[in-house]
Amino acid sequence: MTKRRSGKFRFLIGVDFQRRHVLKIQAIIYFLSIFLLSALNIWISNMGRLQQVQAAERYGSWQYGLIGASLEDMEFVRQNQLLQSAGEAAVYGEICQEDGFGLGGIGTMEESLGKLCGIRFMSGGFPEAKNEIALEQGLLEQLGLPYAIGAEFSFQVKSAEAGTGEQGSSSARNYILCGIFQSNSAYTQAGEYLPLALVSREAAEEISQRRQAELFFRLEEGCDVIKVKEELVAALRDRGGTEEGSWIQNAFVYGSDFKRGDSRGTMLLIDLTGYALTFCLVYTYMVREKTRTGILRSLGMGESEILLLLTGEQIFIWLAALLPGLLLSGVGTRIFLENYIRRQNLDAVFLYPGEAVSTACITASLVMLGGSLLGYLRARFKTSHRKSLIMDYKVLEQGKVTPLKGNIKEALLKRELQVRKRAYMGFFCMQILTLTAVSFSVGWIYRHYQGYKANRNAYVCDYIVESGTQGNSMWGESTPVELGLLNRIKNMEGVERVETTFWQQDVEILNEDVRNGAHYQAAEQYYGERGMGVGVALFAVEAEEEIYKKLASQINEGEWNQERLEAGQEVVLFIPLQNFSRSDARALSYIEYTQQEGYYDEEYPAWKEKEINVGDVLAIRMGNRERAVIVGGIVYDMPMAGNIRGIIAFNSYRIYCGAAVFQELTGGAGESSTCIYIEKGPLAALQAEQLENLLSESKVNWENIRGKILPQLEYHRNSMGMGLAFLGVMGILTVFVSCIFLNKETELAAYKNRLLWSLGMDFKERHLYLRWYGLCIGISALLGIAGNWAAAGLFVHSAEIQRGSFDTNLNIRGTYLLLLGAEGLILAAEVLLLCRLLAKKEKFSKNVYYFVP
Amino acid sequence: MGKVILRARGIFKNYRAGNRMVSALKQMDLEIEEGLFYAVVGRSGSGKTTLLQVLSTQEEVDGGDIWLDGEAYGTISASRRALLRRKKIGVVFQEYRLMAELTVYENIVLPSLLDGREIDGEYIGKVMNLLEIEQLKDAYPHQLSGGELQRTAIARAMANRPRIIFADEPTGQLDETSAFQVMRLLRESSALFGQTVVMVTHNKQLAQYADKVLVLDEGTLVGGIGDD
C-alpha cells in the first residue's frame, strides 16, 4: 500500500511540478518570500545586535584612534577645527613581577579620553597627586592587592620603551590607590592600547622620558569622517609623520540613532506582512485547486489522500524554495550588510552570521508556516458547514429524516460534531495560536513591568552593584565593595532597603589532598592556561528565602543548613566539572581540553574521583588570614551552566559561607550584587543627594550611578509598549475572528434552539444539552491553554535562562499566575456567552432568514 | 429482469437556493440492472444531475440509502466510498474535467495509477482504439476538440473496468455530429466490455441509444421507457 501510494504521489507531484505553471509561480513566490523575510530578519537581528553592543557601551563614542603617535603628530591632529573632543593616553613603562614578567602598561590618561572610550571607574577616580595610582581591576587582582581606596603599596616598575624593543631599568615604586576602573575597558577596541595603571604626568615622567602615546578623538556631528581622516592621514604623511596603518577607526556613533525596541517592532510588522502574504497565496492556490481535487475525488481518491497530496506538494515546493531562498538571503545580506557597514563605519555586526541566519530561518519558516496553515484552513473550510447544518435542522423539523430517530439529543450532537468537526478544529487551532500569542505578550509585559517597577525607585549603583534587580539582571561587572560602606547606606534615612545577593572574593584552599586531587589539578591547569588563578571563590549569601531554597535544592551530599552557615560552623562546597553532560554545549570547551590532555574518557573517571567528603575540614586562606571550616554540604556543579549556579560559575571551586566567615577572611571587601532602593516621594531627590554625598566621600563616580538607571527604565518602558502594541494587534484580530465565529454560532444557536423547542424539549432538557455543547467548547479551550502554556513556558524559560537571571522561576510563576487568572476568565466568559446564546429562544430570530415561524 | 447492480430506496436530497428550500430528490426508489445502458431524462431542475451525483457517491443523500453490489453507501465510511468510486464506478462529466497538465494517455491511466494497479496496456489500447483517440495519446487536452476531449474522458472512466459508468450530459458541449459519434462510441464500448451505463441527458434523440430511459420530474421518478 505504501509503495503504491508513494508511486502515485510521486507521479502526481512530479508531473504537476514539471508542467503546472501555477506551482512554478508559487515556488518562485515562496522563494522570494523566504529570501525577503530571511534577509530582513538577518538585517534586523544584526541591527539589534548592534544596538545591544551600543547599549553596553563597549566602544565608547570615539571615532578614530591614532596609535603610537609622536607628540607633534598628536598636536597637529588636535588643531583640526572639526575635532569635537579628544583624549590622550601614553604608556611610560610596565608593571612587572619580581622575576621581570610584565603585567601591564603604566602611564597617563586624560579624563576626556575616559569619557570617549567609556572607561568607567568603579571606585575612586583619576590620579591627582604624584604618588596616586589608579589600577585596572584585573591588574589589581593579579597583583593581589586589596580593594581599598587609599591603601599604600609598592611594586616593580620597568621603564620598558614600548615598541622600541629596548629594555629599561626596573625599580620598586610606592603608590596610594586612588581609583579602580573596570576590566571590561581592557578588552574593548580602544582599551588594548591603553595603560592599565594610571599615574599623573609628573609621576610618569619619573619612570621614563620616552613614551608611546595614543590619541582618540571624535569629530563634529555631520562631517564626513572618512574624508577628514583621509585628509589628516595625507597631511601627516606629508609631514613625514604617522603612517596610515597606525589608525584605528570606530564610527560606531552612526548607529546610535537606533532605539532599542524599534527594530523588533519593524520585524513584527515585516513578519505580519509576510504572514498575510503567505496566507493570501496559499488561500488563492487552494481555491484554484478545488477543480483539480474535484477530479481526483471523482476518480476515487479519499479525503486523506488528497490532503496528503496537497501537503506533499506544498512541502516539496517549500523545500525547493527554502534552500536557495536562505542561501541567497545569507549571501546577499553578507554582501550588502558588510558593504553598508563599511560605508557607514558601523561595527562588524555580521560577526555571528550562523545565529542570525538560523534566527531568520526559523522566523521566516514560522511566519510562512502560520500563513500557509491559516490560508489552507480558510480555503478548505470555506464551504459553509453552517449552511449544511441549518439544512439538517430544516429537514429535522420537517420530520423527514429517519436516521435521527431515537435519542434526539445524542443524534443531534453526533451529527453536529460530524458536520462541524473541521470548523471546530479550525477554531481550536485558532484558539491555541491566539492564546499562545496573547499569553506571550502578557508574560512579556509582566516581566518588563517587574523590571520597570524594580528600577523605578531604585538607584542602581555601579560602584556596588554587579547585577540588577528582579527581571533586570545584568552581569559581567563584578565590583569591589566595602561592607562598612554598605552598612552606612543601609542606615541612611530614606533608604528603603538594600538588597545583596552574593558577596564574592577569591581565596585559597590549603588542604594538600584537595589540591593534589584530579579535579583541582585539572582546574588549575585549565585556568592557568587562561592566565587565571586556581580559582577558589568564597561566597557569602545574603539573599531572600527563595534563593536559599534554590541553593539547598541543588545539594548532592550533606545539606544546606543556613543557621550553621551563618554561625560560621559549616560551609557548602561547590565542586565543578562533575556530572557534566556531553550534550551540554557549554561544557564542550572542557571536554575538548580534557581530550587533549588525556583526562577525558568515556567514563570520566578522573572527574568522579572523590577528594573531599561532608564533614571534612577544609582549610582556606586569603592573604594572611586563614581559617578552617567544616564541609556541611557538597554540590557537584557544572561550570557555566545556564541556571542559578551559572551566574557564579566563573571560578573553579566555590565555597558558600556565612557573612561572618566571609568578613573574617576577606576583611570586609568583596564583589557583590547589590541594589539600593530609595523611598519614592517628594523627598527622593533629597535622599538621593544624601546618598550621593555619602558615596562621594568614598570617591564614587556619581555620574555613572545616575546614568545607569535611565537606560534600564527606557528599555523596560519600550518593551512594555511593544508588548502592549502586539497585544492590541492580537486583540483586534481575535475580536474580528471571534465575531465571525460567534455570529455563525448565534445563527445556529437560534435555529437549533427553536428546533429543540419544537421537538418538545423543555428548558431543563435544552439546558442539559447545551451544557454538553459548552463542555465541548470548554475542552477545546482547555487544550488550547495547555498548548499555550507549554509554548510560552518554553520560550520564556529559555529566554530567562539565557539571561542567567536569578528571578527566572519567580517571574515565570508570576506570569503563569497572571495567565491562569486571565485565561480562566476568558474561558469562563466564552462558555457562558455560548451557553447564553444557545439558551435564548426567539431573540435572534428577527434577522435570521431561515427561521420558520 | 437481469441482475440488479444498483438499488436506491427512499432517497431524498434538499438544497437551499437563496432563502428558498429546494427538494432535488423526493423519496425516490430505483433499481439499475447490470449491463444495460440507462438514460435519465427530464426538464432542467428535475433532479437528474443530483440523482447522478448521489448514485455515484459524489454527494450524500439526506435520507434513504443506496446499495451498489449489495454495499450500502450509508453504512460505509468516506474512505470506503472513495475506494468504491475508484474500483467500481466511472464518471464522465459534461465539462470533461481532464487534468490539463497530463497527456491524453496519462489522463486515461490516472485511475489505474491512483488505484496502484498495473496498467493493462492491451485493454487501454483497445479502449483508445475503440474510441478513436489512439493517435492522440501524447497530446494535451488544450490541443483537442470537444469530441476528442469527451472521448478521452470516457476512456478514463472505463480505464479501471468499472462495474458502472455515470455520464452527466456527456454530449452537452458538443455539436450534433460529435454528440452522436461520442454516444455511439460510448454505447459500443460499454456493450463490448459489459459495463452498465447511467447517462443523464435532456436530448431525447440521444436517449434513444439507451436500453432504458428514466424520466424525472421535480425530483420524482415519473416513469420509464423500455421497462419490462
Secondary structure, 3-state, A716-781:
HHHHHHHHHHHHHHHHHHHHHHHHHHHHHHHHHHHHHHHHHHHCCCCHHHHHHHHHHHHHHHHHHH
pLDDT value at residue A606: 43
pLDDT value at residue A596: 41
Place of cell 586569603: A622
DSSP string, A240-302: T---GGGEEE--GGGGGG--TTHHHHHHHHHHHHHHHHHHHHHHHHHHHHHHHHHHHHHTT--
Which residues touch A583 (CB under 8 Å, ≥6 apart)? none
pLDDT value at residue A494: 64
Counting the structural domains of chain A, the total is 4
pLDDT value at residue A671: 60
**Residue B24 within any structural domain of the chain:** no
Residue A222 to residue A82: CA distance in whole angstroms: 10
Same domain for A360 and A409, yes or no, is no
**Range 236-295 of A in CB contact (< 8 A) with B:** 291-292, 294-295
Chain A: residue whose CA lies nearest to B58? A298
pLDDT value at residue B204: 80
Assess A386–B contact: CB distance below 8 Å, yes or no. no
Partner residue opposite A400 with nearest CB, options B12, B16, B156 = B12
Assess A303–B contact: CB distance below 8 Å, yes or no. yes
Q: What are the grid coordinates assigned to B111, written together?
A: 485511475
Same domain for A518 and A503, yes or no, is yes
Partner-chain contact B114 A394, CB within 8 Å: no
Partner-chain contact B58 A391, CB within 8 Å: no
First to last CA, chain A: 54
What SS3 state is found at A659?
helix
Residue B52 to residue A30: CA distance in whole angstroms: 41
3-state DSSP of A140-206: HHHHCCCCCCCCEEEEEEECCECCCCECCCEEEEEEEEEEEECCHHHHCCCHHHCCCEECCHHHHHH
Same domain for A103 and A243, yes or no, is yes
What SS3 state is found at B68?
strand
Partner-chain contact A299 B99, CB within 8 Å: no
Partner-chain contact B86 A20, CB within 8 Å: no
Nearest to B157 by CA among B63, B61, B87: B87
Q: Are strands A669-678 and A458-459 parallel, antiparallel or unpaired?
A: antiparallel
Same domain for A753 and A621, yes or no, is no
**Structure-derived torsion over alpha carbons of residues A126, A127, A133, A136, reported in degrees to the nearest 10:** 10
Partner-chain contact B85 A298, CB within 8 Å: yes
Counting the structural domains of chain B, the total is 1
pLDDT value at residue A326: 78
Q: Give the phi and the psi of residue A196 in degrees, each rounded to 5.
A: -95, -15
**Residue B104 within any structural domain of the chain:** yes
B1–chain A nearest CA distance, Å = 30
Same domain for A224 and A81, yes or no, is yes
Instruction: Give me the amino acid identity at A73.
Output: D
Nearest to A461 by CA among A698, A126, A184: A698
- Chain B neighbors of A300, CB-CB under 8 A: 82-87, 89, 111, 114-115, 160
What SS3 state is found at A12?
helix
pLDDT value at residue A246: 67
Partner-chain contact A302 B110, CB within 8 Å: no
**Residue A166 within any structural domain of the chain:** yes
- Chain A neighbors of B110, CB-CB under 8 A: 299
Residue A40 to residue A263: CA distance in whole angstroms: 10
CB A819 within 8 A of CB A443: yes
Residue A787 to residue A440: CA distance in whole angstroms: 12
Chain B interface disruption, residue of A1, A299, A390, most B CBs within 10 A: A299
Assess B82–A contact: CB distance below 8 Å, yes or no. yes
Place of cell 459548552: A774
Assess B114–A contact: CB distance below 8 Å, yes or no. yes
Residue A751 to residue A844: CA distance in whole angstroms: 9
**Residue B3 within any structural domain of the chain:** no
**Range 136-175 of B in CB contact (< 8 A) with A:** 156, 160
Place of cell 423519496: B27
Partner-chain contact A8 B12, CB within 8 Å: no
Residue B92 to residue B178: CA distance in whole angstroms: 16
Assess B62–A contact: CB distance below 8 Å, yes or no. yes
H helix or E strand, kind and range, residue A423: helix A408-456
**Residue A15 within any structural domain of the chain:** yes
Assess B89–A contact: CB distance below 8 Å, yes or no. yes
Q: In this structure, what CATH number is given to the domain that contains residue B175? A: 3.40.50.300
**Residue B190 within any structural domain of the chain:** yes
- Chain B neighbors of A295, CB-CB under 8 A: 97-99
Residue A363 to residue B108: CA distance in whole angstroms: 44
Residue A598 to residue A607: CA distance in whole angstroms: 12
Per-residue pLDDT of B140-161, as tens digits, reads 888 888 888 888 998 898 888 8
Residue A33 to residue A276: CA distance in whole angstroms: 11
- Chain A neighbors of B62, CB-CB under 8 A: 391, 395, 400-401
Nearest to A409 by CA among A744, A746, A764, A747: A764
Residue A101 to residue A98: CA distance in whole angstroms: 7
pLDDT value at residue A484: 60
**Residue A483 within any structural domain of the chain:** no
Chain B: residue whose CA lies nearest to A849? B19
Same domain for A178 and A31, yes or no, is no
Q: At what angle do helices A702-758 and A262-298 cross, to 10 degrees?
A: 30
Partner-chain contact A300 B102, CB within 8 Å: no
- Chain B neighbors of A385, CB-CB under 8 A: none
Partner residue opposite A299 with nearest CB, options B16, B21, B111 = B111
pLDDT value at residue A96: 82
Same domain for A516 and A569, yes or no, is yes
Assess B34–A contact: CB distance below 8 Å, yes or no. no
- Chain A neighbors of B87, CB-CB under 8 A: 300
Half-sphere exposure of A215 (CA within 13 A, CB side): 19
Partner-chain contact A15 B106, CB within 8 Å: yes
Residue A640 to residue A650: CA distance in whole angstroms: 7
- Chain A neighbors of B156, CB-CB under 8 A: 299
Quick one: CA dihedral A603, A606, A607, A612, positive or negative? positive
Partner-chain contact A302 B113, CB within 8 Å: no
Instruction: Give me the amino acid identity at A522.
Output: A
Q: Are strands A197-198 and A132-136 parallel, antiparallel or unpaired?
A: antiparallel
**Residue A691 within any structural domain of the chain:** no
Task: Report DSSP state, residue A69.
Answer: E
A736–chain B nearest CA distance, Å = 26
Half-sphere exposure of A698 (CA within 13 A, CB side): 24
**Residue B144 within any structural domain of the chain:** yes
**Residue A676 within any structural domain of the chain:** no
Assess B119–A contact: CB distance below 8 Å, yes or no. no
Per-residue pLDDT of B102-116, as tens digits, reads 889 988 988 888 787
Q: Which residues pair with B24 in a beta bridge?
A: none
Query: What is the extent of the structural domain holding B202?
Result: 36-61+83-225
Chain B: residue whose CA lies nearest to A851? B19
Same domain for A762 and A810, yes or no, is yes
**Residue B136 within any structural domain of the chain:** yes
- Chain B neighbors of A296, CB-CB under 8 A: 114
Assess A387–B contact: CB distance below 8 Å, yes or no. yes
**Residue A464 within any structural domain of the chain:** no
Arithmetic mean of pLDDT over chain B: 84
Other Cβ atoms less than 10 A from the Cβ of B40: the count is 30
Q: What are the grid coordinates assigned to A838, written together?
A: 444557545
- Chain A neighbors of B16, CB-CB under 8 A: 387, 390-391, 394, 850
Chain B: residue whose CA lies nearest to A309? B114
Nearest to B154 by CA among B115, B199, B113: B199
Per-residue pLDDT of A225-253, as tens digits, reads 777 877 888 888 777 755 544 676 554 43
B19–chain A nearest CA distance, Å = 7
The CA distances from residue A268 to A282, A283, B122, in Å, are 21, 22, 61
Quick one: CA dihedral A454, A458, A461, A462, positive or negative? positive
Q: Which residues pair with A198 in a beta bridge?
A: A107, A134
Q: Give the phi and the psi of residue A681 in degrees, each rounded to 5.
A: 125, 180
- Chain B neighbors of A1, CB-CB under 8 A: 116
- Domain boundary at A382, A417, A443, which? A382
**Residue B189 within any structural domain of the chain:** yes
Which residues touch A5 (CB under 8 Å, ≥6 apart)? A305, A308, B116
Chain A: residue whose CA lies nearest to B78? A302
pLDDT value at residue A127: 92
Chain A interface disruption, residue of B73, B99, B115, B138, most A CBs within 10 A: B99
**Residue B166 within any structural domain of the chain:** yes
CB A636 within 8 A of CB A581: no
Residue A548 to residue B158: CA distance in whole angstroms: 80
Partner residue opposite B14 with nearest CB, options A292, A395, A850 = A395
Task: Report DSSP state, residue A577.
Answer: S
Same domain for A83 and A223, yes or no, is yes
Per-residue pLDDT of B38-87, as tens digits, reads 999 888 878 888 899 899 888 888 888 899 988 888 888 888 888 888 88
Per-residue pLDDT of B167-193, as tens digits, reads 988 887 777 887 888 888 788 878 888
Q: Give the phi and the psi of residue A202 in degrees, each rounded to 5.
A: -60, -45
Partner-chain contact B101 A394, CB within 8 Å: no
Cβ contacts below 8 Å, chain A against chain B, sum to 88
Partner-chain contact B63 A16, CB within 8 Å: no
**Residue A197 within any structural domain of the chain:** yes
First to last CA, chain B: 7
- Domain boundary at A645, A668, A691, which? A668
Nearest to A486 by CA among A667, A680, A669: A669
Chain A interface disruption, residue of B75, B106, B114, most A CBs within 10 A: B114
Q: Which residues of A778-816 are buried (b: 16+ CB within 10 A; e: fewer)?
A: bebbeebbebbbebbbeebeeebeebbbbbbbbbbebbb
Residue B225 to residue A726: CA distance in whole angstroms: 70
Chain A: residue whose CA lies nearest to B87? A300
Q: What are the grid coordinates assigned to A395, written together?
A: 429537514
Q: Which of the residues in chain A have pLDDT under 50?
A: 1-6, 55-56, 162-163, 165, 185-187, 244-245, 251-262, 347-349, 351-353, 383-385, 399-406, 457-481, 578-608, 639-651, 680-685, 699-710, 798-811, 841-853
**Residue A703 within any structural domain of the chain:** no
Nearest to B51 by CA among B169, B137, B138, B174: B169
H helix or E strand, kind and range, residue A671: strand A669-678
**Structure-derived torsion over alpha carbons of residues A608, A609, A612, A613, reported in degrees to the nearest 10:** 60
Partner-chain contact B116 A294, CB within 8 Å: no
pLDDT value at residue A133: 93
Query: What is the extent of the structural domain holding A601?
Result: 499-668
